[in-house]
Amino acid sequence: MCPVPWTIKYAPKRLAEVYGNDKAKEELKNWLLKGLWREKAAFLYGPPGVGKTSAAICIARDFGFFLIEFSASESRDAEVIRKKILDHVHDSTLFGKRMVLFDDVDIVFSKFDTGALPAIIEVIKSKRVPVVLTAANFYDPKLVPLRRYSYPIEFKRLSMRDIVRNLERICRLEGIECDPMALREIAKRAYGDMRSAINDLQFIAAGRRKVTVDDVKALVAYRNRELNIFETLGRFFKADSIPRAMAALTNSMVEFDLLIKWVNENVWRALNDPSDIKNVYDVLSWADIYGKRANATQAWHLMKYMMALTASVPLAARKGLKSFVRGMTFPLSVKMASLTKEKRDYLENMCRKIARKCHLSTKGAMRDIVPYLKIMLEANPKYGRKVARSLGLSSEEINFLVTGRLPREGSRRLEYR
């Protein structure tokens, strides 16, 4: 018979039993008690194994909610979500009041459940049930539409002290004699991940009644942990050599292209001297040139130069970088791209229509037809509309060219208010 994993056997039953992250737990409790859940979902984010899902499950239990949970392994298409929640939200139930948990929402959007996002937003906007979301990275670009409806609560990596306390409790309950230094070694190698620490302890203790430091060193390797964006930038700005800066970049959970944009957006905040701004952005501009050339020519060997130049940024600041950087912000270029995506998609569909009529490529229609059609519509609206209709454009599409507003944009704003 397979033994029960200790992560399940010794899972917390109450919010007070979740180790660490006291501030985050208090924020989660206030979100529920003060009625903030009627406006926004609680978005619990942070590295794996720090208690995000456990906190959601425990607060539901503490306050008598029946938890409806969607995990990463389940289907998350819109129809399933509506059937499981929205269609039954008014019904009386033996289980009483309910809470909804969407676990690992960043994972689901890497799959093909394209209808999940509007359905999740619909659940939040219904204001009928508290909704909790969990993810590793709140600033993931694919989660931008959810952030408007989310109350962010950060869960940080757990301290060695918290992990050791829990491991001591488990050893006591299992009747295992464990060297305190061995537990510290497990906690150190887990790097703030309680789940990994408990799994390592169970693995080491299998068939033993005593665990020593030598047992830990023999059986548990250091983990190469992925860092979130703020940890990445913090280590990157503090790096005193190119290998250390490169290690911070390559261990990040953020894709390298996006990481470059984060560095470009925030590096000036870490600089102490104006002359260093010039030096740093000179280096970044050369890195960008190599990256663009690699993408344009598919000469991917050039990427190593882009990475090496980016890793040299901390050394380009001759008067040093600040050890602590406040107010780091999301890259403006990515933010603007996500905000204008719907308009760009709408314009591209229009250009496809024009391209078919004029026997052009979509890019050709965008470059050679649309700018002049806009001028016609402004200079001579009657004639311009006639030309636009001859190109197969609808009244809504013509109005979009004139005003820049998407159809029903005003009603959409009222709907989301």
pLDDT of residue 127: 80
Structure tokens at 338: 């996500």
Q: How far apart are CA 25 and CA 200, in angstroms?
A: 26
Q: Decide which of 394 and 417 is more confident.
A: 394
Instruction: Identify the burial level of 125 via C-beta atoms within 10 angstroms of its C-beta, where 0-12 means exposed, 13-18 middle and 19 or more buried.
Output: middle
Tell which phi-psi region holds residue 317, choosing left (phi > 0), alpha (psi between -120 and 50) or beta: beta
Determine phi and psi for 172, rounding to 5 degrees. -65, -45
Does CATH place domain 6-154 in 3.40.50.300? yes
The amino acid present at 230, given as its one-letter code, is F
Return the percentage of the chain with pLDDT > 90, whole number. Answer: 26
Q: How far apart are CA 107 and CA 104, in angstroms?
A: 5
69 SS3 class: strand
Mean pLDDT in residue range 177-199: 90
Structure tokens at 331: 């890259």
Q: State how far the alpha carbon of 53 is from the alpha carbons of 59, 134, 139, 145, 414, in Å.
A: 10, 7, 19, 22, 33
Q: State how far the alpha carbon of 413 is from the alpha carbons of 13, 57, 248, 376, 404, in Å.
A: 41, 34, 41, 30, 15
Contact 387, 371 (CB under 8 A): no
Q: How far apart are CA 187 and CA 182, in angstroms?
A: 9
Predicted model pTM = 0.59
Cα-to-chain-centroid distance, residue 287 = 25
Number of Cβ within 10 Å of residue 76's Cβ equals: 23
Q: Domain 160-219 is of which CATH architecture? A: Orthogonal Bundle (1.10)
What tens digit of pLDDT does each residue of 114-135 get? Answer: 556 777 888 888 888 899 999 9
Q: Decide which of 372 and 338 is more confident.
A: 372
List the beta bridge partners of residue 128.
Answer: none
What tens digit of pLDDT does each residue of 145-157 get? Answer: 888 899 999 999 9
Contact 50, 20 (CB under 8 A): yes
pLDDT of residue 120: 81
What tens digit of pLDDT does each residue of 210-256 get? Answer: 888 888 877 665 555 556 777 788 888 888 888 888 878 877 766 67
150 SS3 class: strand
So where are the chain's domains?
A: 6-154, 160-219, 229-336, 340-416
Contact 106, 135 (CB under 8 A): yes
